């Protein structure tokens, strides 16, 4: 009986660890592990600094709107482990996203996190696309929230006349971002033209045009 009960507990613990239902990042094993980005130690996340203080847990970079005078008319300001070393191993981070009227945060994915946005002001048309190729979309405004499940392609568009801004929460210290168009057309080294011509059913001239349009402006 005792052995059977022990076996059951072991199975439950192991399946809890394997399924890790709470966090996209691995669970922490200590109070804090403030990131030491200068450490040469290679591991999942960052090595811990020997000493730390409050400034390792602080960031004022989301206080003001980011500049949206760029091609997309939007700006993502991240508050992740690269800006806040104290986030290392904690499995959360934020961003602020600002949108000019007409601005677009172009279709992208976060391989390591689900995202939840809270609208600070303005109105946005937002959506994600499931692996069954269904678009799930909605218009959201000040005070409202919307969720983009981990890994799914999503976007936000400001179709309003006024600027808009959101705070985005992530269940990862470093969600990672792959913007679909930029990933395919501005990778270095470049993705071969004959991959893109077939994938998008367009000719080489069109591929070159998109590559040049999306090339980072200096
Ligand atoms: C934290 O320590 C750094 C040096 O490691 C120092 O520059 C900074 O002023 C300290 N900040 C606080 C809030 O004590
Ligand atoms: C955007 O605006 C800022 C501040 O007004 C300016 O310094 C910057 O050069 C502008 N950038 C572009 C790409 O126009």
Assigned domain for 36 exists:
no
Ligand nearest to the CA of 73: 2
How many of the other CB atoms lie within 10 Å of CB of 90?
18
Evaluate whether residue 202 is within a structural domain: yes
Q: Compute the distance between CA of residue 64 and CA of residue 98 in angstroms, rounded to an integer.
A: 10
Minimum CA distance residue for ligand 2 atom 10: 69
Query: In b/e form, how buried is each residue of 25-40, taking b as 16+ CB within 10 angstroms?
Result: beeeeeebbbbbeeee
pLDDT classification of 8: cutoffs 50, 70, 90: low
Domains in the chain, number: 1
What is the predicted pLDDT for the residue at 16? 46
Range name among 7-21, 77-91, 104-118, 191-205 with the lowest pLDDT average:
7-21
Which ligand is nearest to the Cα of residue 53, counting in written order?
1
| Domain residue limits at 197 | 186-218
Å from CA of 52 to ligand 1 middle: 8
Residue 194 domain flag: yes
Lowest mean pLDDT among 22-26, 66-70, 113-117, 145-149: 22-26
Query: Is 67 a pocket residue for ligand 2 (Cβ < 6 Å)?
Result: yes
> In this structure, is residue 37 part of a structural domain?
no
Give the distance (Å) from ligand 1 centre to CA of residue 55. Answer: 6
Q: Which ligand is nearest to the CA of 70?
A: 2
Structure tokens at 206: 């069109």
Instruction: Answer whether 50 contacts ligand 1 (Cβ < 6 A).
Output: no
Mean pLDDT within 71-75: 97
**Residue 203 within a domain:** yes
* CA pair distance 165, 142, nearest whole angstrom: 9
Helix (H, G, I), strand (E, B) or coil at 96: strand
Distance CA 147, CA 79 (A): 18
- For residue 53, how far is its CA from the centre of ligand 1 (angstroms)? 6
pLDDT digits (tens, 9 = 90+) for 97-130: 999 999 999 999 999 999 999 999 999 999 999 9
Residue 214 lies in a domain: yes
In a domain? residue 105: no
Q: What is the pLDDT of residue 1?
A: 47
Distance CA 22, CA 169 (A): 15
Question: What pLDDT shows up at residue 184?
Answer: 98
Query: Which numbered atom of ligand 2 lies nearest the CA of 217?
Result: 13
* % of the chain surpassing 90 pLDDT: 85
User: For residue 43, is it within any domain?
Assistant: no
51 pocket-lining for ligand 1 (C-beta < 6 Å):
no
Residue 3 CA to residue 11 CA, distance in Å, equals 12
The Å distance, Cα 47 to ligand 2 centre, comes to 37
SS3 139: strand
């Amino acid at each position: 009986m005792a052995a059977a009960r022990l076996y059951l507990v072991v199975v439950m613990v192991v399946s809890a660890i394997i399924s890790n239902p709470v966090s996209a990042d691995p669970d922490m094993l200590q109070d804090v592990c403030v990131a030491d980005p200068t450490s040469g130690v290679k591991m999942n996340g960052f090595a811990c600094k020997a000493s730390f203080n409050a400034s390792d847990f602080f960031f004022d970079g989301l206080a003001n709107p980011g500049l949206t005078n760029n091609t997309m008319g939007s700006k993502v300001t991240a508050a992740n482990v690269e800006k806040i070393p104290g986030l290392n191993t904690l499995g959360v981070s934020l961003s602020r996203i600002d949108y000019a009227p007409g601005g677009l945060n172009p279709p992208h994915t976060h391989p390591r996190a689900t995202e939840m946005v809270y609208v600070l002001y303005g109105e946005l048309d937002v959506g994600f696309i499931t692996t069954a190729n269904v678009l799930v979309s909605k218009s959201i405004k000040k005070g409202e929230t919307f969720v983009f499940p981990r890994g799914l392609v999503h976007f936000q568009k400001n179709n309003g006349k006024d600027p808009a801004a959101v705070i985005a929460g992530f269940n990862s210290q470093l969600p990672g971002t792959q913007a679909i168009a930029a990933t395919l057309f501005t990778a270095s080294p470049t993705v071969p033209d004959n991959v893109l011509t077939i994938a998008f059913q367009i000719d080489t001239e069109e591929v070159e045009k998109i590559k040049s349009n999306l090339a980072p402006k200096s």
